[in-house]
């Protein structure tokens, strides 16, 4: 396989290393790639220029930078810091991948947009926030910049998530979503409808890991919340969005969930196409848009991406739709939309959550039975449910229920509490809490010693929330349901609990497993295995495997196989340090899995010149002639002079081999088997003088010529034997070479 870049690894360490970071001044060479390199005592100017500048420690990634106060620098281990920095880079690239190539506008320290420079996006942990210390974090809408409050518990959450193996951080993702939200700059309305959409959809689209939800549960929770909006006939565009007057619900949250449902109905490919169209509008000079105009833009983008008339959908959810767009969709796509049809007569369509509209026994809220089907459309098949409904409103303390139960109850006053006891057989539990009539309710979960573990709340008419948790232990647990919040009113609730062994729980999702990289001269071999693919780890059918290196980005995309390896040469301008690689699965151009956990390794030294040694004989290439057309011969490894040294000169996916003694390029005499190797002028930069090195293991590989598409071999062992071009079918030791650094 052709190798794009190159570097020599002198030492490599698998796993997490404690190598100290490289320190650079502010004038670090911008052409160098330097991951986790430190700029000490960097003077940070907050987004709010009225706040004082702060001296922070800056660590560089590919697209982002992490700025830490000195007192927090030691709070993060090297592994934690690198993981957060690398994941922030991946989140940045993910936004570009999902919504289009345009990036947030750059901000220089004066605060003025500067489109002609492109510094990295800063994630700064600071004692004061530009948006006010009543918040935990903030991101600048449409511009690069995220701030996280230093004294907040969020810092502990960052560390806890990395330690648990859940590398994606919701704070970075949410606030960075504001940076990429150039859409909200076109309106006087708020920005959280976009960030609320991206918070959920990024996890769905990229199959991200988290200690709280699977991607499927994230999607279910978002869709269920919007379905609860539909179940109340008084909820409509005018009341809840235009006037923001629906009790218990923010219009921005609802609008974000409506966007999520549109994406859910459209599928990932059409959603990506729709977001690309919206992204183009973000960068057009359209001025401010009204709420109604914004709604039409989204509807049109999804209608065109799906090539479907969405009028019936907008009418069903009682959403705004202009007469002009209604007429346009009718003219383009006709009147039919299968999402609006209740084909099986169970009163639910795909829009209202029916996951199988050909079976009237399957719909949201149906009773689950053991039949191999997801009867209640909660993404879980055959969770055995016991129903407790006869004692509504009168559950005794620690009423015993099974770990697969649906409980219907009533809270009659602010002090009314229902409590239950159950036994978990696994450490994973899924919970859904629903309130049909305006009750503000919260469920608390405690272990056998009364130690609090988790809580779930709903607030408002027909509200519904779902969670999947990793519990500290299996065994005996209790939970209580009570009214909470000012002005609490009496009302009914339904809480559904099932042992998470049946759920699609998600933590440290490694559908792809990587192993410690190996180095063979200038070649680093990266390997990805998929030993145990199943539907909970991936979405779709994998077609490719994609490799990512920290600080560099995507380095290769290759056809899918159970086990694949690539030979990678790091860029020559890569600064020595600790780097990591990951892999993920793709279905076409869509992610089929999240990136794997990083495998970290050290690059500690680079070589400028190389000896090229033969595996079978130990001889090395050399020539002490300087005339163009000179023949290259072989010498023993005692030959360490400039006649036996070559420099790798990068040229896209291939490289030139420049002879140190003469300055000439290595090239074959012709493309025929048995052709000799010659030295030719360095002005010859075509395919004849271009090479790649394909790893064969144990430090050796094939030296492949681009023009001939064949590799180099020796016919015999004596010193002075001429290297020749051989057929690719010859793969033994006589065709293999190693690169060793010339001292």
Task: Name the token pair of 626.
Answer: 């300087």
pLDDT at residue number 167: 52
pLDDT at residue number 26: 35
Q: What is the DSSP letter of 106?
A: P
pLDDT at residue number 507: 42
DSSP H helices in 232-308: 251-266, 268-282, 291-306
* Residue 184: strand, helix, or coil: helix
Q: Which residues contact 326 (CB under 8 A, 6 or more apart)?
A: 311
- Using CA atoms, how far residue 346 sits from 191, 230, 435, in Å, is 37, 16, 22
Rounded distance, CA 65 to CA 85, Å? 7
pLDDT at residue number 678: 94
How much is the pTM?
0.74
Cα 75–chain centre separation? 25
Task: Name the token pair of 196.
Answer: 């609320």
pLDDT at residue number 104: 80
pLDDT at residue number 524: 86
Task: Name the token pair of 681.
Answer: 């002028």
The residues pairing with 586 across neighbouring beta strands, listed in sequence order, are 544, 591
The residues pairing with 347 across neighbouring beta strands, listed in sequence order, are none
The residues pairing with 43 across neighbouring beta strands, listed in sequence order, are 55
pLDDT at residue number 196: 82
pLDDT at residue number 6: 19
pLDDT at residue number 354: 84
Rounded distance, CA 364 to CA 230, Å? 13
Q: Which residues contact 250 (CB under 8 A, 6 or more apart)?
A: 192, 244
User: For the chain, which ranges sit under pLDDT 50?
Assistant: 1-30, 109-111, 114-117, 390-392, 501-508
């Amino acid at each position: 396989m052709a190798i794009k870049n190159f570097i020599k690894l002198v030492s490599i360490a698998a796993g997490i290393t404690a190598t100290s970071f490289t320190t650079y001044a502010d004038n670090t060479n911008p052409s160098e790639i330097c991951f986790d390199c430190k700029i000490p005592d960097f003077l940070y100017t907050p987004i709010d220029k009225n706040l004082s500048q702060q001296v922070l420690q800056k660590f560089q990634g590919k697209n982002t930078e992490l700025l830490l106060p000195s007192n927090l620098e030691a709070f993060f281990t090297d592994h934690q810091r690198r993981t957060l920095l690398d994941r922030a880079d991946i989140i940045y690239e993910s936004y570009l991948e999902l919504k289009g190539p345009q990036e947030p506008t750059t901000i220089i320290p004066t605060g003025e947009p500067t489109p002609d420079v492109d510094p990295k996006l800063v994630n700064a942990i600071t004692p004061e926030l530009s948006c006010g210390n009543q918040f935990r974090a903030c991101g600048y809408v449409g511009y690069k910049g995220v701030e996280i409050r230093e004294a907040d518990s969020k810092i502990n959450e960052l560390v806890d998530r990395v330690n648990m193996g859940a590398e994606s951080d919701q704070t970075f993702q949410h606030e960075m979503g504001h940076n990429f939200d150039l859409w909200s700059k076109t309106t006087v309305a708020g920005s959280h409808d976009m960030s609320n959409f991206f918070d959920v959809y990024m996890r769905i689209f990229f199959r991200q890991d988290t200690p709280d939800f699977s991607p499927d549960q994230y999607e279910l929770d978002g869709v269920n919340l919007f379905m609860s909006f539909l179940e109340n006939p008084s909820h409509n565009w005018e009341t809840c969005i235009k006037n923001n007057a629906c009790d218990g619900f923010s219009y921005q949250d609802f609008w974000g969930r409506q966007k999520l449902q549109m994406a859910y109905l459209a599928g990932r490919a059409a959603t990506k196409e729709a977001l690309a169209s919206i992204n183009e509008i973000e960068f057009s000079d359209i001025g401010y848009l009204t709420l109604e105009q914004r709604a039409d833009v989204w509807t049109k983008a999804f209608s065109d991406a799906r090539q479907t008339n969405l009028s019936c959908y907008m009418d069903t959810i009682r959403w705004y739709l202009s007469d002009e767009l209604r007429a346009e969709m009718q003219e383009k796509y006709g009147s039919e939309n299968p999402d609006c049809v209740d084909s099986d007569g169970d009163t639910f369509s795909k829009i209202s959550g029916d996951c199988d509209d050909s079976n009237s026994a399957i719909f949201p809220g149906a009773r689950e039975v053991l039949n191999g089907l997801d009867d209640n459309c909660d993404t879980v098949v055959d969770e055995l449910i016991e129903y407790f409904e006869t004692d509504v409103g009168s559950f005794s303390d620690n009423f015993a229920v099974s770990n697969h139960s649906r409980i219907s109850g009533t809270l009659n006053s602010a002090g009314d509490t229902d409590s239950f006891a159950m036994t978990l057989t696994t450490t994973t539990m899924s919970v859904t809490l629903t309130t049909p009539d305006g009750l503000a309710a919260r469920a608390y979960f405690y272990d056998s010693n009364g130690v609090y573990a988790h809580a779930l709340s709903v607030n408002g008419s027909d509200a519904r929330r779902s969670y999947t948790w990793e519990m500290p232990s299996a065994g005996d647990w209790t939970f209580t349901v009570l009214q909470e919040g000012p002005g609490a009113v009496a009302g009914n609730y339904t809480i559904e609990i099932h042992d998470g062994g049946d759920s699609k729980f998600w933590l440290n999702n490694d559908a792809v497993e990587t192993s410690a990289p190996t180095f063979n001269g200038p070649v680093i071999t990266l390997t990805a295995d998929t030993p145990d693919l199943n539907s909970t780890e991936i979405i779709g059918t994998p077609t490719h495997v994609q490799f990512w290196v920290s600080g560099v980005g995507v380095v290769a995309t290759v056809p899918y196989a159970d086990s694949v390896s690539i030979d990678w040469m790091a860029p020559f301008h890569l600064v020595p340090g600790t780097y990591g690689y990951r892999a993920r699965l793709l279905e076409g151009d869509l992610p089929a899995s999240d990136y794997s956990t990083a495998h970290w390794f050290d690059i500690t030294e680079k070589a400028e010149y190389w000896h090229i040694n033969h595996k079978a004989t130990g001889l090395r290439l050399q020539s002490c002639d300087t005339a163009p057309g000179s023949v290259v011969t072989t010498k023993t490894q005692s030959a360490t002079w400039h006649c036996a040294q070559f420099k790798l000169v990068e040229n896209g996916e291939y490289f030139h081999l420049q002879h140190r003694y003469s300055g000439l390029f290595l090239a074959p005499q012709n493309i025929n088997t048995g052709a000799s190797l010659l030295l030719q002028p360095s002005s010859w930069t075509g395919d004849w003088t271009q090479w790649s090195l394909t790893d064969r293991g144990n430090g050796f590989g094939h030296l492949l010529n681009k023009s001939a598409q064949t590799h180099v071999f020796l016919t015999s062992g004596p010193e002075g034997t001429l290297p020749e071009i051989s057929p690719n079918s010859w793969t033994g030791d006589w065709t293999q070479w190693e690169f060793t650094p010339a001292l």
